[in-house]
Amino acid sequence: MSNLQTIELKAFVPAKDFELSKRFYRDLGFTLASDAGGTAYFHHETVSFLLQNFYVMDFAENLMLHLLVEDVDAWKAKVDESGIAARYGVAVSEVRLQPWHMRDFTLVDPSGVLWRIARNVE
Phi, psi (5° rounding) for residue 13?
-105, 125
**Is residue 2 pLDDT above 80, yes or no?**
no
For the residues 62-87, what does the mean pLDDT come to? Answer: 97
Tens of pLDDT, residue by residue over 30-65, are 999 999 999 999 999 999 999 999 999 999 999 999
Give the per-residue pLDDT at 62: 97
- The mean pLDDT of 19-25, rounded to a whole number, is 98
Assess if CATH 3.10.180.10 describes domain 12-120. yes
Spatial distance between the Cα atoms of 18 and 105, rounded to a whole number of angstroms: 24
Give the DSSP letter of residue 92: B
The full set of domain ranges for the chain reads 12-120
Other C-beta atoms within 10 Å of 60: how many?
20
